[in-house]
């Protein structure tokens, strides 16, 4: 179950960035579950990782290897998170890096490993090692669709986004894929995301632009309020377009990168586990962004709000209650206004005089819904995207290991 049509966009190849996918049988025979992404040593790489204290072994290794510089390969397995696995997990992640390095003729520290799947179970290293040659051989600049499928877990469809723009008279491409459907409240990353561009940029510039894009996209989504142990987003710049990002074109490139990240992040919400609604929570009139986000996330993660959304029930009192418990200092409820779509539902501490149940019901019957909240305290605003909470979400996660 997902919101909207399961369309996969045209994915423009990125010069110098190759993807290869195979079925290694990590969890289910015949399912695509092992992906290699390859690029030249001259490329620059930036990444963000989960802030969960129990970060997975591959996150620790990838983070360390990135600091050492000059990565050339990203390798991802699904079906097993290699998280909560202690020293054995670290050793297993290193074995994968060492095996791919030997096959590809590079150093182990030039490989960044990524994993997603069940937490707490040993990584089936031998299956991964056996699958590496096929994935490496399959690497091609047109491999985005297969890779998008190869990184899926409980996702029902691959998620991709691609943009082209002109910088300094040269055509530049930005293309990316992401996966994620549950355990989603990113904190510096989404479940897994991979973006590549043929523009040239320094490592510092790339990291700054990725961080900025994240704070407008992946760090503004939530399905269930759970931050994964394995969150990671990587951005690779091959530089082969001949266009370099500088002060005169950085804003233009940033806007395109923001658009790719936002499309991918919203794709994660649309494919949320059991999702039937795509919900935008806009909070305006905050004293600062922090309190606007606090209100947005409190509403977006409220089980009572989310179940009302699933039922298409305009139970506006649940939204009102969530705003009130968001922890804002000296909130004047008489200055708060709340809308469902264009329908004003609450103002001056209670139900709006113009509100009717029929009008609220018409909005809640839609597949895509906007909840807008004005706090009446200042000029800050923030937007968060979320989904509803359905029977299927409970079933999927109750049966996750069966």
Residues marked as catalytic: 190
Burial of 401 (0-12, 13-18, 19+ CB in 10 A): exposed
Helix ranges, 215-249 (H): none
In the numeric block, the tokens 């895509």 are attached to 368
Phi-psi region of 48 (alpha: psi -120 to 50; beta: other; left: phi over 0): beta
Q: Can you spell out the DSSP letters for 3-32? A: SS----------TTEEEEEE---SSSTTS-
- d(Cα 122, Cα 136) in Å, to the nearest integer? 24
Rg (CA), the chain: 22
Which residues sit opposite 286 in a β-bridge?
380
Burial of 63 (0-12, 13-18, 19+ CB in 10 A): middle
Say if residues 18 and 154 touch (Cβ distance below 8 Å). Answer: no
Say if residues 76 and 150 touch (Cβ distance below 8 Å). Answer: yes
- d(Cα 318, Cα 330) in Å, to the nearest integer? 20
Phi-psi region of 84 (alpha: psi -120 to 50; beta: other; left: phi over 0): left
β pairing state of 343-347 and 350-351? antiparallel
């Amino acid at each position: 179950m997902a919101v909207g049509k399961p369309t996969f966009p045209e994915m423009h190849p990125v010069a110098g960035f190759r993807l290869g996918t195979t079925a290694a049988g990590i969890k289910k025979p015949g399912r695509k579950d092992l992906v290699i992404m390859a690029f030249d040593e001259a490329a620059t790489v930036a990444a963000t990782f989960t802030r969960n204290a129990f970060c997975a072994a591959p996150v620790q290794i990838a983070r360390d290897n990135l600091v050492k510089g000059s990565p050339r390969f990203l390798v991802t397995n699904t079906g097993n998170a290699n998280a909560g696995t202690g020293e054995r997990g670290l050793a297993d992640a290193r074995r994968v890096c060492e095996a791919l390095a030997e096959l590809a003729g590079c150093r182990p520290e030039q490989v960044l490993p990524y994993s997603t799947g069940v937490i707490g179970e040993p990584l089936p290293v031998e299956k991964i090692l056996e699958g590496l040659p096929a994935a490496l051989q399959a690497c091609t600049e047109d491999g985005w669709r297969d890779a998008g499928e190869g990184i899926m877990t409980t996702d029902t469809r691959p998620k991709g986004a691609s943009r082209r723009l002109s910088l300094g008279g040269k055509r530049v491409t930005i293309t990316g894929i992401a996966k994620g459907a549950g355990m989603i409240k990113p904190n510096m990353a989404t479940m897994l995301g991979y973006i590549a561009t043929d523009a040239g940029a320094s490592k510092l510039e790339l990291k700054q632009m990725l961080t900025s894009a994240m704070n407008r996209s992946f760090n503004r989504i939530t399905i269930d309020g759970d931050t994964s142990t394995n969150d990671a987003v990587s951005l690779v710049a091959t530089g082969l377009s001949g266009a370099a990002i500088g002060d005169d074109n950085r804003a233009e490139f940033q806007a395109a990168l923001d658009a790719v990240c936002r499309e991918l992040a919203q794709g994660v919400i649309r494919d949320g586990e059991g999702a039937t609604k795509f919900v935008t929570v806009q909070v305006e009139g905050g004293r600062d962004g922090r309190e606007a986000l606090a209100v947005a996330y409190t509403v977006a993660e409220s089980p009572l709000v989310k179940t009302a959304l699933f039922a298409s029930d305009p139970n506006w009192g649940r939204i009102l209650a969530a705003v009130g418990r968001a922890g804002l200092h000296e909130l004047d409820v008489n200055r708060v206004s709340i809308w469902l779509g264009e329908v004003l539902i609450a103002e001056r501490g209670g139900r709006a005089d113009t509100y009717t149940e029929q009008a609220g019901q018409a909005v809640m019957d839609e597949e895509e819904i906007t909840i807008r909240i004005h706090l009446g305290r200042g000029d800050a605003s923030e937007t968060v995207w979320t989904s509803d909470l359905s029977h299927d979400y409970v079933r999927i996660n109750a049966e996750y290991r069966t």
